[in-house]
Amino acid sequence: MPAQQAHDLNCLTIAELEAHAEQRMDKQTRDYYNEGADSGSTLRENSQAYSKYRIRPRVLRDISLIDTSCPLFGGKSPIPLGVAPTAMQCLAHPDGEVATARACRKAGVVMGLSSFATSTLEDVAAASGQNPCALQLYLFEEREHSRKLIRRAKAAGYKAVFLTVDTPMLGRRNLEIRNQFKLPKPYKIANFTEDSSSAATKTVMDGAPSGTEHKEEKTSSSAPGYHDGKKRTPPSGPISFHSHAPNPTLCWERDIGWLRKECAPEMEVWVKGIATAEDAILAVHHHVDGIVVSNHGGRQLNGALATLDALPEVVDAVQGKIPVHVDGGIRHGTDVFKALALGADFVWIGRPILWGLSYKGQEGVELCLKLLRDEFTLCMGLAGTVRIPEISKDYLVKMDQAGFVSRL
């Protein structure tokens, strides 16, 4: 009988993991990671959407051998769950993305890396070994910056690029504004130091060096792009999130084909931020390799659909032609089951990983993945399923506001 990994008796749920992280993170970091756009209603609804569904378990089935594996990037994942790309993980723990990569490697779980990480994509690849990684990409207006990053990812063995498509402008995050959020020393946006001046290695989130550096190197400040009514001027200065990540010029016709050409043949191209059937159809038409149904963790358009609510129409539109993944609001293994039952092929976990990282570094991320894996495996068995393809809408009902149940 295989040895069972010991429980952390101080942390048996993702909710408890969040509470531990609440105590360990400083206010600026906690607010940055946990905030949604504007009132935060979409952020809350991402999680609340799962409570609208109940599971219909089947019994008297042989569940003695449960297989949680699923296809991913031409290979196989041990569970239908990956670590979503989240920025600046060194804020949560000094080891940052490298610790997350080591935990993912140990669990065999794919890791998504943010372009705006505090560790280089090469360091994360080295920590990952043969474990698969995907690079989240903001396609900059000046494509050469993106081209360099893509080439580095290909050389480092990344399996896919996830193009973020829901940030033509940045959502309004009030706590970030009030806190005047800055990336503290000694951390830096590691993947873009080669594209920047000496001051850029110290660049904070808004692109402006802080304190005396601002006085000494005023010319190094970043500036967002703008349109004067006649022509578009792209962002300037060292690459920073606020100046360079939002790209209002992105479009299907021009950019997807360019990106596919740049990534071929080593890396797949996925679009992250799809929330409608219309855009799902366009994604298929433009030959992307997959879709992530996402609303940026509720950090962009407040009032948008929760990702679980957007998922069914995207799945129906795609008709199985390409994989459909989903992120946002997953806090328990039963949530993973519900997402798969509604048609997702795979799910991505964001904030709980950051909570685990804050709690105990690599060990905390391992704990987060273990909790979700164990909960999901238990849910599969108790629902009467033993293979991922068996999970379908037949296993769910939906509750309306009056408490009435309807079959799907």
Say which of 244, 296, 325, 332 is annotated catalytic. 296
Residue spans of beta strands (DSSP E) within 324-404: 324-327, 346-349, 396-399
Question: Phi/psi zone of residue 384: left (φ > 0), alpha (ψ -120 to 50 degrees), beta?
Answer: left
CA nearest 162: which of 317, 327, 308? 327
Residue 296 falls in the annotated catalytic set: yes
In angstroms, the Cα distances linking 139 to 158, 226, 245, 276, 300 are 17, 16, 7, 21, 17
Give me the DSSP letters along 251-265.
Answer: -IIIIIHHHHHHHTT
| 144 burial type by CB count under 10 A (0-12 exposed, 13-18 middle, 19+ buried) | exposed
CA nearest 131: which of 154, 105, 107, 153? 105
Q: CA-to-CA distance for 282 and 278, rounded, in angstroms?
A: 6
| 226 burial type by CB count under 10 A (0-12 exposed, 13-18 middle, 19+ buried) | exposed
Residues designated catalytic: 296
